[in-house]
Chain A
Amino acid sequence: MNGPCKEFADRIVDYVDGELPQDETQAVGRHLVACEPCRRTAEALNRSLGLAKVLWSDNLDDRERTQAAPAPRLYHIRVYAVAASVLIAASVLVLVVGDHYSRSSLTRSGNVERQVADVGAAAELLAATQILARCEGTEALVERQYRFILKEYAGTPAAESIRTRLSPESRRYTQ
């Protein structure tokens, strides 16, 4: 790269700054038309000063200090939206599945508890009826009690025990 002509270098600076007398301004202007290295130097002088002013102005500008945190970019917002959607969907899934399982387990648990309660109640009734059966004159009452156990607690061991003990005639109550 060729630099500016030595005899013109300093005057080119004054020329671009507009600090040359009229006659010298014209002389330098004519030279710049003819000399490319000097012309390019003149361009570089103007451009470098413009860039320096950008740097100085940027230093003076307190935008960086006062500026809030940069706004999130669009793709960040999208990522956040997708992540939030997945999180919400996962939460809903957990709630639905959890509710289903808890309901099933509660149902099963309720059935067992009811069955246990039925077996216990039938056993108590049967024991009380057997004590009653030992007393005289209670046949009709005992029979009615058996029928009640057979009807209300059909699936219990107490009902099964009554069925095996009753005569074929009595079994018709269970049918």
Chain B
Amino acid sequence: MCMAQECKRESVEDADPPGLMDVFLRQRERLLRIAAGMGMARTDADDVLQDVSIQVLKNADRFEQENVMTRWLITTTVNHCLTEHRKRFRHKASRIIKRRPDIAEGLAEGGGPDRVALSEELEVIRRTLAELDPSLLLAVVLRYFCDMSSNEIAETLEWNASTVRSRLREARLILAGKLLQRGIEP
């Protein structure tokens, strides 16, 4: 082993492992997306992360492995969102459509439903997401809103890979089924 390689190896071995706060700061954007996916508006999501950061300070020396820290951060964030259940998905669809006309225009492109039908469909999905089992909701949020693959979700949360896929399928079919009950606009 040459001198340069030896020095590099020593420096890697000497480097301090990332602390919980380091991982929290690195994962902050993802945690924010998870909170939004669990139904928290931006201000409420910020409040949740504020609470999580306090927990991070309290548990700074509790973990050593980064993957364990990440799992703990995600579950702590989700639990904080669930305790604030009254704040979850509180913005009704009609209000969102009114405030964000660009959404209606975007979804209506290519012959989508009109504004009223879109508002009704969005409301169906909002209610279904609010009532969805948290484990199913977390799976779809991580997969489709945080762009994690099924394997990444399985590794991060220590779920079985088949469990991730089955939860994703179940959640997707529930959402689609509710939309079909209402009737999809052609």
Contact = CB atoms under 8 A, between A and B. Distances in A.
Interface size class of A (residues with CB under 8 A): 20 to 34
A52 B45 CA distance: 17
Interface in A1-27: 1, 3, 9-10, 13-14, 17, 19
Given A52-B144, A55-B122, A60-B36, 10 more contacts: A44-B176, A45-B175, A45-B176, A47-B121, A49-B144, A53-B145, A56-B33, A56-B37, A60-B45, A62-B42
A14 B169 contact: yes
Interface of B: 32-33, 36-37, 39-43, 45, 89, 91, 96, 99-100, 103, 107, 121-122, 125-126, 128-129, 140-141, 144-145, 150, 165, 168-169, 172-173, 175-181, 183-184
Contacts of B45: 59-60
Given A3-B177, A47-B179, A55 B89 contact: yes
B103 A54 contact: yes
5 contacts: A44-B179, A44-B184, A53-B145, A59-B39, A59-B40
A35 B41 CA distance: 40
Interface SS of A by simple majority: helix
A17 B178 CA distance: 19
Contacts of B33: 56, 60
A72 interface: no
Contacts of B172: 13, 45, 48-49
B125 A44 contact: no
User: Which 10 residue pairs of A and B lie closest in terms of their CB atoms, listed nearest first?
Assistant: A44-B176, A59-B36, A48-B175, A60-B36, A62-B42, A51-B125, A13-B169, A45-B176, A44-B179, A48-B179
